[in-house]
Amino acid sequence: MGTFTEEITLANARDIGNARDGLILDTKIRAVTLDAVPDTGAWTLIINEETRQKLGLAILETVKSSLADGSTTQYGLTEPVEIRWKDRRTSQEAVVIPNASDILLGALPLEGMDLYVDPVNQRLAGVHGDQRVHLVK
């Protein structure tokens, strides 16, 4: 199984709320569309510093994170980001790895959009088909 990317849109969730409240115009919502690697080994959304700056995301705290190579380092955790893939969306904090070459779409945002990684066809797919299902337990 190899890696693959999916096109996603990231938007500043605070800007979305401000636009909804009439404080800014919808055209002022900071958002970027980019390719991300679905990665079930990552727990959240991983972005680089360039993406954080484009979205205008504040760092809320520093968190200890373990990388795939086993090293542990402190990274910034941002305020919520709205993540969109096709007709699905979820909001999630992002870990900022300053020089990350790939944006990683981790397990929590995948689950939030009711998606799974289809390794055979190298694509994302809906756990419950084409319609997103919100699970309440």
The C-alpha atoms of residue 106 and residue 84 are separated, in whole angstroms, by 13
Does any domain span residue 121?
A: yes
Give pLDDT tens digits for 46-71: 999 999 999 999 999 998 887 777 88
Does any domain span residue 105?
A: yes
Does any domain span residue 88?
A: yes
Helices (H), ranges, 13-131: 13-20, 49-55, 107-112
Does any domain span residue 45?
A: yes
Does any domain span residue 25?
A: yes
Q: Which residue has the higher pLDDT, 132 or 110?
A: 110
Q: Is the pLDDT of residue 134 over 70?
A: no
Does any domain span residue 131?
A: no
Query: In CATH, what number is assigned to the domain containing residue 40?
Result: 2.40.70.10
- CA 13, 35, 130, 40: dihedral to nearest 10 degrees? -90
Average pLDDT, stretch 30-52?
96
Which residues on adjacent β-strands are paired with residue 117?
124
Q: Is the pLDDT of residue 76 over 60?
A: yes
Q: Whole-model pTM?
A: 0.89
Does any domain span residue 75?
A: yes
How many domains is the chain partitioned into structurally? 1
The pLDDT value given to residue 119: 86
83 is in which domain, residue-wise?
A: 6-126
Q: Is the pLDDT of residue 131 over 80?
A: no
Query: What band does 132 get if pLDDT is binned at 50, 70 and 90?
Result: low
The C-alpha atoms of residue 93 and residue 126 are separated, in whole angstroms, by 22
Does any domain span residue 136?
A: no
The C-alpha atoms of residue 97 and residue 105 are separated, in whole angstroms, by 13
